[in-house]
C-alpha cells in the first residue's frame, strides 16, 4: 500500500483542504460585464432571452407540427417504414381463414378449419370432442382460446399460439377452474 | 447601500445597480454552481444564466429572504437544470476523453511547493471519489465545502431538513475516508 501518511496532518484535515480546493475557486472577474451586456436597457422585464434553447425548442415543435400536417392524422412515430400505420388499438379477434395457417405447420392447427387443436401428444392420450378442448366464440364461431388444463397435462408447455393476427392464449388455472361441471369431460 | 436598495434601483431600470449585486454575490453564486456541476467552465455559464434569470424575475423578489439566499436558490436550480441537460452529457463525454485540469489558482493554495503538490494529489483523488458519490450525499458535502453557507441555508436551498443534511455530510465523509484509506491515506 502506498502509505502517504504525513506527520501532523490528519486525514480529516486533508479531506477538508481537498474539498475546499475543489469548490473554492474564484469566479471570473468579467461576470458582471457579461451579465450586463446581455441585459437590455430598461426595467428587468425587458431583459433579452436567456439562450437560444428556447428558439431551438420552438423550431422543433414547429417542425413536428408541419410533419404531422404533411403526413396526415397518424403521428410519424406510429408509422412503419413501408408507410403502413401501426395499429394502436387492441387487435380485433376474427375467425382464422385459409391464410392463417402457420400454426398448422407446427401440427397445432386443425387441418382444413384453421382452428387450433391440441398438441399431438395430448390428442393421442386424451381424445376428446372439440367442444371439450376449445372455447368457441358464439358470434363468429371462431376459436377464442385453446384450453389446456395444466393440472391434467403438467408437461404441456403453456405458450401462446399465434396466427397472423390472432393470438391464442392458454387460460390460467383459475380460468379453467371456473368452468362448470357441464363443460368438463 | 443595501442589497434591498440595489434591488429597488435595478427594478427601476438601473442596470448598474444590478451589476453591483452581481459583483457582491458572484463568488458565492459561482461556487454553488461549481458544487453542483464540478466543472468551472460550466459553473461559470450557469452563474451567468442565473444572474440573467434573476434579473428577469427581479420584480418577484419580495424580500422574504435575503437577496443572497434568493440568488443562491436560483443559481442552484439553474445549475441542476444544466446538470440534467443534454449539454452536460456531451461535455462530460469530451472531458472524459481529454481531461484538462483547471489552471485557475485555488483560493487556498498550499504553503509550500511540496505541500501544494501533495495536496494537489490528494485533491485529485478526492475529486474523483466525490464524483462517484450519489448526488444526495455529494451536493450537501460540496455546498458545505464552499464555506458560503451553513446547514440552515443549505436546508432552505435543498429543501432537506437540517438533521438529514448533517447525516448526509457525515456519511459522505465516512465513505471518502474509507476509500482514501484504501489508497494509502491514513491518519497520523
pLDDT, tens digit, for every residue of A6-26?
Answer: 545 678 888 888 888 888 888
pLDDT band at residue B118 under the 50/70/90 scheme: confident
Res B188: pLDDT: 56
Res A140: pLDDT: 46
Which of A103-117, B139-153, B168-182 has the weakest average pLDDT? A103-117
Nearest-CA distance A184 → chain B (Å): 59
Domain hosting residue B158, numbered range: 111-183
Is residue B97 in some structural domain? no
Q: Do A15 and B180 touch (CB under 8 A)?
A: yes
Interface test with B, best of A13, A17, A44, A52 (most B CBs within 10 A): A44
User: How far apart (Å, rounded) are the C-alpha atoms in residues B164 and B143?
Assistant: 14
Is any Cβ of chain A less than 8 angstroms from the Cβ of B38? Answer: yes
Is any Cβ of chain A less than 8 angstroms from the Cβ of B44? Answer: yes
Low-confidence ranges of chain A (pLDDT < 70): 1-9, 42, 45-52, 71-185
Q: Are residues B122 and B170 in the same domain?
A: yes
Give the phi and the psi of residue A154 in degrees, each rounded to 5.
-65, -25
Q: Which of B15, B119, B127 sits opposite A17 (nearest CB)?
A: B119
Please name the residues in contact with B57: beta carbons below 8 A apart, sequence gap of 6 or more: A44, B74
Above pLDDT 70, what percent of chain B? 85
Query: In terms of Cα–Cα distance, which of B149, B154, B179 is closest to B166?
Result: B154
Residue B139: pLDDT over 90: yes
* 3-state percent helix, strand, coil for chain B, nearest multiple of 5: 75, 0, 25
Query: In terms of Cα–Cα distance, which of B2, B153, B150 is closest to B65?
Result: B153
DSSP A155: T
**A51 touches B49 (CB < 8 A):** yes
User: How far apart (Å, rounded) are the C-alpha atoms in residues A151 and B145?
Assistant: 66
Residue B75: give its domain's CATH number. Answer: 1.10.1740.10
Res A44: pLDDT: 73
Q: Which of B44, B108, B141 sits opposite A24 (nearest CB)?
A: B108
Q: Which of B18, B57, B177 sits opposite A15 (nearest CB)?
A: B177
Identify which has the larger pLDDT, B168 or A84.
B168
Q: Are residues B129 and B178 in the same domain?
A: yes
Q: Are residues B140 and B72 in the same domain?
A: no
Res A81: pLDDT: 52
Q: Which of A5, A22, A24 sits opposite B188 (nearest CB)?
A: A5
Q: Do A20 and B38 touch (CB under 8 A)?
A: no
DSSP A160: -
**Residue reference for cell 458572484:** B26
**Residue reference for cell 455546498:** B143
Domain closes at, from B57, B88, B119: B88
Q: Are residues B62 and B135 in the same domain?
A: no
E strands present in A3-160: 134-136, 143-146
Q: Do A22 and B126 touch (CB under 8 A)?
A: yes
Is any Cβ of chain A less than 8 angstroms from the Cβ of B104? Answer: yes
Give the phi and the psi of residue A184 in degrees, each rounded to 5.
-90, 150
Residue B165: give its domain's CATH number. Answer: 1.10.10.10
> Is residue A115 helix, strand or coil?
coil
Query: In terms of Cα–Cα distance, which of B138, B140, B43, B31 is closest to B82?
Result: B43
Residue B171: pLDDT over 90: yes
Nearest-CA distance A78 → chain B (Å): 25
pLDDT, tens digit, for every residue of B21-71?
Answer: 999 999 999 999 999 998 899 999 999 999 999 999 888 888 888 899 999
Identify which has the larger pLDDT, B170 or A120.
B170
Interface test with B, best of A1, A33, A35, A49 (most B CBs within 10 A): A35
Res A39: pLDDT: 80
Is residue B101 in some structural domain? no
User: How far apart (Å, rounded) are the C-alpha atoms in residues A44 and B137?
Assistant: 36
Q: Do B122 and A14 touch (CB under 8 A)?
A: yes
Is residue B102 in some structural domain? no
Q: Do B102 and A25 touch (CB under 8 A)?
A: yes
Measure the CA dihedral A177/A179/A181/A182, to 10°: -160
Q: Are residues B118 and B82 in the same domain?
A: no
Is any Cβ of chain B less than 8 angstroms from the Cβ of A124? Answer: no
**Interface predicted TM-score (ipTM) of this complex, two decimals:** 0.76
Number of structural domains in chain B: 2
Q: Are residues B2 and B84 in the same domain?
A: yes
Is any Cβ of chain A less than 8 angstroms from the Cβ of B122? Answer: yes
Is residue B69 in some structural domain? yes
Is any Cβ of chain A less than 8 angstroms from the Cβ of B7? Answer: no
Res B54: pLDDT: 92
Amino acid at each position: 500500500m502506498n502509505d502517504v501518511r504525513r506527520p501532523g496532518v490528519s486525514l480529516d484535515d486533508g479531506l477538508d483542504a481537498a474539498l475546499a480546493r475543489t469548490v473554492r475557486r474564484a469566479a471570473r472577474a468579467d461576470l458582471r460585464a457579461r451579465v450586463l451586456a446581455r441585459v437590455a436597457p430598461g426595467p428587468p422585464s425587458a431583459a433579452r432571452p436567456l439562450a437560444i434553447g428556447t428558439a431551438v425548442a420552438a423550431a422543433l415543435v414547429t417542425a413536428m407540427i408541419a410533419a404531422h400536417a404533411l403526413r396526415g392524422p397518424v403521428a410519424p412515430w406510429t408509422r412503419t417504414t413501408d408507410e403502413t400505420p401501426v395499429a394502436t388499438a387492441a387487435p380485433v379477434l376474427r375467425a382464422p381463414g385459409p391464410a392463417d395457417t402457420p400454426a398448422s405447420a407446427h401440427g397445432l392447427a386443425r387441418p382444413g378449419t384453421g382452428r387450433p387443436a391440441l398438441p399431438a401428444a395430448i390428442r393421442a392420450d386424451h381424445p376428446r370432442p372439440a367442444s371439450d378442448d376449445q372455447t368457441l366464440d358464439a358470434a363468429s364461431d371462431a376459436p377464442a382460446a385453446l384450453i389446456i388444463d395444466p393440472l391434467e397435462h403438467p408437461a404441456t408447455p403453456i405458450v401462446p399460439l399465434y396466427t397472423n393476427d390472432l393470438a391464442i392464449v392458454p387460460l390460467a388455472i383459475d380460468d379453467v377452474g371456473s368452468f362448470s361441471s357441464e363443460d368438463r369431460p | 447601500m443595501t442589497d434591498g436598495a440595489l434591488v429597488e434601483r435595478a427594478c427601476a431600470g438601473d442596470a448598474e445597480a444590478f451589476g453591483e449585486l452581481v459583483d457582491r454575490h458572484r463568488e458565492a453564486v459561482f461556487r454553488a454552481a461549481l458544487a453542483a456541476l464540478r466543472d468551472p467552465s460550466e459553473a461559470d455559464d450557469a452563474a451567468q444564466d442565473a444572474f440573467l434569470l434573476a434579473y428577469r424575475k427581479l420584480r418577484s423578489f419580495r424580500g422574504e429572504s435575503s437577496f443572497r439566499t434568493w440568488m443562491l436558490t436560483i443559481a442552484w436550480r439553474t445549475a441542476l437544470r444544466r446538470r440534467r441537460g443534454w449539454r452536460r452529457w456531451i461535455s462530460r463525454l469530451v472531458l472524459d476523453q481529454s481531461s484538462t485540469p483547471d489552471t485557475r489558482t485555488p483560493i487556498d493554495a498550499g504553503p509550500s511547493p511540496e505541500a501544494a503538490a501533495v495536496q494537489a494529489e490528494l485533491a485529485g483523488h478526492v475529486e474523483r471519489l466525490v464524483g462517484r458519490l450519489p448526488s444526495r450525499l455529494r451536493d450537501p458535502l460540496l455546498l458545505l465545502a464552499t464555506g458560503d453557507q451553513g446547514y440552515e441555508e443549505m436546508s432552505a436551498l435543498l429543501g432537506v431538513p437540517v438533521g438529514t443534511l448533517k447525516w448526509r455530510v457525515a456519511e459522505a465523509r465516512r465513505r471518502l475516508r474509507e476509500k482514501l484509506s484504501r489508497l494509502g491515506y491514513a491518519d497520523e
